[in-house]
Amino acid sequence: MRRLAVLAALAACPGARAPASAIDQDPPAVSHLDQAGIVTRWLDRTADPCRDFYRFACGGFADTTEIPIDRRTWSATEIVVSTNEELLRGVLERAAAQPGDPLGAYYTACMDEAAIEQAGLAPIQPLLDLAASARDAKSAAAAVIALHAAGVFPLFGIGAQQDFADATQVIAALDQGGLGLPDRAYYLDDKGSLPRTRELYQAHIARMFALLGDAAPNIAALDVMRVETVLARLHQDVVVRRDPRAMYHRIDLVGLERIAPTFRWRDYLARLGVTATAITVNDPAYYTAIAKLLATEAPGALQHYFAWTVLRATASLLGSAWVNEAHRIVSDLGGERELPPRWRRCLARADSDLGDLLGQAYVRQRFPADARPRTVELVTAVLGAMRAQFDRLWWMDEPTRDAARAKLDRMTYLVGYPDRWRSYDFAIGPAFASNVQAATRFELARQLAKIGKPVDRDEWQMTPQTVNAYYDPLLNEFALPAGVLQPPLFAVTYHPAANFGATGAGTIGHEITHGFDDEGSEFDGNGTMHDWWTPATQQGFTDASRCVVEQYGKYEPAPGLHLDGKLTAGENIADAGGVTIAFVAYQTYKAHHAVVPAVDGFTDDQLFFLSYAQSWCAKLTPGAIETMVRSNPHAPPQYRVEGVVANEPAFAAAFKCPPPAKPCTVW
Ligand SMILES: [Zn+2]
């Protein structure tokens, strides 16, 4: 996925077919290079591309842009996001002027801060009452059940998931959850700023309880920290969770009742409207332990923990004191320094609650009729290069190659937007919190209704305006929303080398390789969990990866803060693979098409690499970098360029650099 950090899914794009320059800086004089898809003023031509290609491609960006005070990063991707937001704001404002328009009514209610202030705590009082109802093990379990039914998830989460063992069926999946910090390490490790982060978080919890009128907010905060730390110890870590076998335990209702008999699972499922009994859990031991926690933890502490889960989920629905406090911790932890303007927060809400309504307007304005066929052309070129690439992989043996080709032949893709738009069947009125709660229940019911039914392969997992892409190994399918097919990442008017570089390599190639890497090896062409690699290929890939793990482990984005080579290996290998394969695809493409061989002194092959690199031009706050390094499987943007070109002979050839001395080559 393209996104930089652990951010809420925002999205979308600009009015006319304006280049990215429309909003990030003053409009520059458009040179030929800019028309080709390279942002001239982001370059630093004084840098030596052989020594520091990221600086060469993005030095101008680094020198001339600032991270907006209400964002935590600023990047090529963020520019697309921001341009999309401006456009969608217009859509919402026009809708708000139309009586009876659901999107307009939703947005109007969200923008009505006076009414929200007036409502006080009333919108969440029923949830707080539930939290307070935990007086013993039995009533604590009942509170968990009722909160889950309302879309608030203490302790664990539930969703619909394709059965790893049978790609045609959807089953219920329970997963660990219930933490306010991003990952277990935040509670358990003492590295870097983590102890300080815990202090800030605990102080924030205390302030939230003080806002609630709690007489002893510091005690409440201590209780919450203790319970969350217990949960963190039980959580699987991010590296373990990259292995689907570690996450899939098809124990069904009978298994749940065996491992955690004191929790009333039948009541739980009935309350959520789940009639199927086919259930997988991430880790059976987790559910045994949380049932024990409910029985042994002091009821007062559980009440605090549940109330905290409610406040965390709902503070943004309340008045400004709550919203500001909720933002304070985001800012303390290195996120946006200032709260984004209300309209942007309301847009994010509308995107999550009524995304396809926004999507229809977005696609009309930002996805011209020729964008889909041009993207499909790109996709088929990259798929073709991928097929040929299998023959060159030294770590893949012949039987595995055959299986890989068969899987590639079954791979499907979605481009732009869904053929069938979703509808939203919930009441929208003048009360913002009620609208969000209705949307939450509606979406939960929609998700859980999939359980026990066949898989719908046409469903999108992102809205069309989302600036991102994904490959789903369970469907053997990847998706490119219209939102990511935008300048400066893509345009039908760009030089094809630029489209192959940013979108062909950074998005399509990257996503496709996930079907054939260690993650993809766990699922076959139908999406059923089945290890289709031979042991020899498995060993070969592990050997090939070791070099990448070591290479990235040496990168040090801040003093003493090294990248986690293991955590990021899968994504780093996908980056390298995406570039190698898309470059081959471009060579084939240009053998059959008349392409302009050079633009403003750059050869087309150079444009390919420049475009890839510029798609990662970015600035991050130190806090955002640290969060990313600690918990994100993607390396920070700079290393997604440096790490890749360091291994790529085609890059060295294009820029007449010495060939890489000891390249790590997986793809
Ligand atoms: Zn990826």
Q: How far is the CA of 229 from the centre of ligand 1 (A)?
A: 30
- Which stretches of 109-227 are assigned E, i.e. beta strand? 156-163, 166-176
| Count helices and strands in the chain by DSSP H and E runs | 30, 11
Among the listed residues 315, 302, 325, the one whose alpha carbon sits nearest the alpha carbon of residue 123: 315
d(CA 166, CA 76): 39
pLDDT at 457: 84
**Bridge partners for 403 per DSSP:** none
Handedness of CA 573, 575, 576, 579 (dihedral sign): positive
Q: How far is the CA of 631 from the centre of ligand 1 (A)?
A: 14
Predicted confidence (pLDDT) per residue in 530-570, tens digit: 899 999 999 999 999 999 999 999 999 999 999 999 999 99
Question: Residue for token digits 């996709």?
Answer: 379
**Bridge partners for 131 per DSSP:** none
The one-letter code for the residue type at 145 is I
Residue 149, burial from CB neighbour count under 10 angstroms (0-12, 13-18, 19+): middle
Q: Tokens representing 55?
A: 């600086």
Burial 563-572 (b: 16+ CB within 10 A, else e): bbbbbbbbbb
pLDDT level of residue 18 (50, 70, 90 thresholds): very low
Q: How far is the CA of 470 from the centre of ligand 1 (A)?
A: 8
Q: How far is the CA of 440 from the centre of ligand 1 (A)?
A: 28
Q: How far is the CA of 512 from the centre of ligand 1 (A)?
A: 9
Span of 24-33, 140-149, 231-240 with lowest mean pLDDT: 24-33
Q: Using an 8 Å Cβ cutoff, are 105 and 360 in contact? A: no
Q: How far is the CA of 2 from the centre of ligand 1 (A)?
A: 8
Burial 96-135 (b: 16+ CB within 10 A, else e): beeeebbbbbbbbbbbbeeebeebeeebbeebbebbeebe
Predicted confidence (pLDDT) per residue in 228-271, tens digit: 999 999 999 988 987 888 999 999 999 999 999 999 999 999 99
Q: How far is the CA of 530 from the centre of ligand 1 (A)?
A: 21
d(CA 240, CA 566): 11
Predicted confidence (pLDDT) per residue in 598-607, tens digit: 999 999 999 9
Q: How far is the CA of 138 from the centre of ligand 1 (A)?
A: 43
Q: How far is the CA of 608 from the centre of ligand 1 (A)?
A: 20
Q: How far is the CA of 237 from the centre of ligand 1 (A)?
A: 18
Predicted confidence (pLDDT) per residue in 75-133, tens digit: 999 999 999 999 999 999 999 999 999 999 999 999 999 999 999 999 999 999 999 99
Q: Quick count: other Cβ atoms within 10 Å of Cβ 79? A: 28
pLDDT at 1: 47
- What's the chain's average pLDDT? 92
Tell me the mean pLDDT in the region 520-526: 91
The conformational region for residue 560 under phi > 0 = left, psi -120 to 50 = alpha, else beta, is left
Q: How far is the CA of 478 from the centre of ligand 1 (A)?
A: 11
Pairing mode, strands 598-599 and 602-603: antiparallel
Please state the length of the chain: 667
Pairing mode, strands 412-416 and 477-481: parallel
d(CA 165, CA 527): 9
Cα 227 to the center of its chain, rounded Å? 27
Predicted confidence (pLDDT) per residue in 384-443, tens digit: 999 999 999 999 999 999 999 999 999 999 999 999 999 999 999 999 999 999 999 999
Question: Residue for token digits 């070791």?
Answer: 546
Q: Quick count: other Cβ atoms within 10 Å of Cβ 398? A: 11
pLDDT at 71: 87
Q: How far is the CA of 574 from the centre of ligand 1 (A)?
A: 6
Q: How far is the CA of 636 from the centre of ligand 1 (A)?
A: 13
Q: Using an 8 Å Cβ cutoff, are 362 and 12 in contact? A: yes
pLDDT at 31: 54
Q: How far is the CA of 585 from the centre of ligand 1 (A)?
A: 19
Evaluate if residue 11 carries a pLDDT over 90.
no
pTM for the whole thing?
A: 0.87
Predicted confidence (pLDDT) per residue in 653-664, tens digit: 999 999 998 899
